[in-house]
Amino acid sequence: MSGYGRWIDDSGLPAFALRTGPPPPAWNRVIDPPTRRRWVHLGNRRLTLVADTDGRCGLWDEHKDLRWLTEPEPQGTGVSQVYDGESVLLTSARAEGHDPRIVFGPTYLCVAAESGDLALQRTVTVPEGEEPFVQVQVTVTNRRAESVRWTLSEEWDVRQRVLDYLEIGARTQRPAYEGGEPLRLEGPGVAAEGAQGLLRVEVPLELGPGERESVNFRFGLAVASGDHSALPPCPSPSADPELLRRRLPEAAADQAPQAAREIPWHAALLTGGACADGVLGGHTLDQGSAYSYRHGFNGAARDPLQHALPLVHTEPDLALSILRNTCAWASPEGELPYALDNMKQPRTDLFQPSDQNLWTLWLAAEYAAATGDLAAFAEPAPFHPVHKAEQVPLWEHLRRQFRWFKDIVGTGAHGHVRILNADWNDLALDEAGIDRQTMIDHGESVLNSAMAAWVLPVYAGLAQRLGDLATAAEARAYGEELRVRVAGEWNGRWFRRALGPGGAQVGEDSLWLEGQPWAILCGAATDEQARQLLSTIDELLRKDSPLGARLHWPPKTDGMGGHWYAINATLIWAAARIDPALAWDEWRRMSLSAHTEAYPGLWEGTLSGPDAYLPPESERPGQTWVLPDLGVAMQAWPVANQHSHAQPLLAYLRLLGVEPTRDGRLAVGGGAHFSSRFLTVRPDGSGRLRGSGTLAVTARDGRCCDGQGEVAWGEFTGG
């Protein structure tokens, strides 16, 4: 059981109730001062609410830049208080000697406090949709035997600032808050507005004996627009929890009972990291965690594309919006920059990765297979404004990114995809044991080749459906060429990781996990090799590891030897084809409940997590990586990394056999239950798919089910 509290069912929604009592000890953030506060990120498609264990909040907006509206340092804000004259009778936030009950829900924070003669319950909700405000409902109960006249106050401290790009190193002084668009705090008949400083409003209360009254407030940007008549009523209908229940998927698996709780939780926190993009259009869904909230950049480009993959099956309109948005990062030639900076400008000064186009092609193919929405690819889509280029259809974005990957990234002397200065692994060149510049100039990534050998034939299926037969044929042939190259890298135990000039090999005597699942998925591994490989991974990378496979063998004690969500999800997918029992076990080890069981005293891994955990051999097992010499530390903000939510979702779908095929169809299996508004898969292999175009499904028994708008298969009877 967690040292912080317990999971509860809150009217059909998963929620986490903090334990009462003294706050936990301070934890070391390495480059920031220690704090006893912990937090979780909740949100909608516009704002992110950072709710903490004191019952306070921060508010983040990535619409035009990477901006704190209310930076939660050194503490959060958002406090309700009840006064009797000048005396404070009760406050909502934790304080010395005051220990409120706190519950974190999928999109809300609930705080309950009481004294002998009154009780206060305060719920801060991020409404559904793109509302740029939070809804606050405060209920005050008079427990006295006589009537009372009290005052209820609501206050939020506006601390606006845009993070610096690459804001690294230890913080030595408090940031300067520069302001921005005004924020507005609004209650019944009262309001306060400002771009900086404390906003506070008061509401009189007259309560008879035993009476209670609920007062609704709203805080954020929407009420600062000036058109107050256009505001939705308070409380907003979009804060209705029934809307949230209908939106979140359901899951049930005998192999992993925790999926029933964690799948909807992950779905809520994943979409809560999205933000409508006021510069590029669509929505961004960046990694978050220390990358955004501490170091001030949105990177890498591959990450929003990965995070959107499970959304294809739960909120496909958002997945498409993220695809269009990330394509807009690109140059007209098809190059995706590594990152966007704090002002949403493309940056290639950190890395020039060689794999990023593959993620675009993959997301596009998965979206088309699951929705049948081919019309979306004919819609014009922009490039980044810095390029001053005309829009082109989305399918043309894809074609240009394919051309960049094939023609510009290209292959090296051994026929593998070049590595440039990074592939998926930003630090691969530093760990390769070969001169860095030599690898940049001549190095080849077997990982890239293996991934491309799966992605390109799947993209070819989409190109075929779109009528681009030449690109389809070329992508299919290139994928097959790379598959053959990968097959040649089997060393009798595993597949090599990379190649350098003069016969240099990376991964001959060491096992790098990243490329191994892709070798299985693309068909480079024979069935016998795949089984042997999984057995080796189980023995060398998973042994004595409560959180699943390590990234590397021989063991490393830093992040290079840790557990990476993005890689372990691919391992689950590949293992599901060969050894389902191992695959389910790996998913269970990836779960929040597994981290809590292994490390009950750590907050990271309780409700959210980083992109990677340190292995059991490290000095801080179950925590996350630091690069103190560079002034960079995931440990400074070890939650709200969207891989910790997207990858368990995607891996669960892959366990159920849900994936795009090389002929543009959607394959589905069974073995457990999943249900969203668009896709239902049942343990017996039956199910239903709803989309917006011509759907083509291949069921577990091999039958093809095609139709317009909706198809069902097996013994599906609705529901």
Q: pLDDT tens-digit profile of 574-619?
A: 999 999 999 999 999 999 999 999 999 999 999 999 999 999 999 9
Q: pLDDT tens-digit profile of 661-713?
A: 999 999 999 999 999 999 999 999 999 999 999 999 999 999 999 999 999 99
Q: Is the pLDDT confidence value at 223 over 90?
A: no
**Percent above pLDDT 90 for the chain:** 90
- The SS3 call for residue 153 is strand
- State the pLDDT confidence band at 620, using cuts at 50, 70 and 90: very high
Please, what is the average pLDDT of the chain?
96
Amino acid found at 447: L
Please return the burial class of 467, using the count of CB atoms within 10 Å of its CB with bins 0-12, 13-18 and 19+.
exposed
- The SS3 call for residue 213 is strand
- The SS3 call for residue 396 is helix
Query: What is the structure's pLDDT at 231?
Result: 46
Q: pLDDT tens-digit profile of 310-356?
A: 999 999 999 999 999 999 999 999 999 999 999 999 999 889 999 99
Distance, in Å, from the CA atom of 162 to the CA atom of 520, rounded to the nearest integer, reads 44
3-state helix, strand, coil in the chain (%, to 5): 30, 25, 40
Other Cβ atoms within 10 Å of 254 Cβ, number: 11
Q: Residue 478 in contact with residue 522, Cβ under 8 Å?
A: no
Q: Residue 144 in contact with residue 117, Cβ under 8 Å?
A: yes
Torsion of CA 619, 621, 625, 631, to 10 degrees: -40
Query: What is the structure's pLDDT at 237?
Result: 66
Q: Is the pLDDT confidence value at 235 over 70?
A: no
Query: What is the structure's pLDDT at 388?
Result: 98
Q: What is the residue-wise DSSP string for 24-71? A: PPPB--SSS--BS--EEEEE-SSEEEEEETTS-EEEEE-SSSSEEEE-
Please report the sign of the dihedral spanned by the C-alpha atoms of residue 231, residue 237, residue 240, residue 242.
negative
Q: Is the pLDDT confidence value at 224 over 50?
A: no
- The SS3 call for residue 263 is helix
Q: pLDDT tens-digit profile of 148-202?
A: 999 999 999 999 999 999 999 998 888 889 889 999 999 999 999 999 999 999 9
Q: Report CA-CA distances (Å) from 276 to 44, 106, 205, 514.
A: 10, 19, 38, 32
Distance, in Å, from the CA atom of 110 to the CA atom of 123, rounded to the nearest integer, reads 4
Domains and CATH numbers, the chain: 21-244 (2.70.98.40)
E-strand stretches of 420-549: 444-445, 498-499, 505-506, 511-512
DSSP category for residue 309: H
Q: pLDDT tens-digit profile of 349-362?
A: 889 999 999 999 99
Query: What is the structure's pLDDT at 278?
Result: 98
Q: Is the pLDDT confidence value at 567 over 50?
A: yes
Q: Residue 195 in contact with residue 181, Cβ under 8 Å?
A: yes
Q: Is the pLDDT confidence value at 228 over 70?
A: no
49-53, 70-74, 224-228, 370-374: which range is least confident on average? 224-228
Query: What is the structure's pLDDT at 236?
Result: 62
- State the pLDDT confidence band at 719, using cuts at 50, 70 and 90: low
Q: Calculate mean pLDDT across residues 356-370.
A: 99
**Percent above pLDDT 70 for the chain:** 97
Q: pLDDT tens-digit profile of 243-282?
A: 999 999 999 999 999 999 999 999 999 999 999 999 999 9
386-390, 412-416, 555-559, 584-588: which range is least confident on average? 555-559
Q: Report CA-CA distances (Å) from 339 to 61, 72, 427, 553, 648.
A: 18, 25, 16, 30, 24
Q: pLDDT tens-digit profile of 72-120?
A: 999 999 999 999 998 999 999 999 889 999 999 999 999 999 998 999 9
Q: Pick the closest to residue 304 from 342, 265, 338, 331 (CA basis).
A: 338
Amino acid found at 151: T
- State the pLDDT confidence band at 230, using cuts at 50, 70 and 90: very low
Q: Is the pLDDT confidence value at 513 over 70?
A: yes
Q: Residue 315 in contact with residue 298, Cβ under 8 Å?
A: no
Q: Residue 314 in contact with residue 383, Cβ under 8 Å?
A: no
Query: What is the structure's pLDDT at 229?
Result: 44
Q: Say which residue the tokens 């959210």 belong to.
A: 608
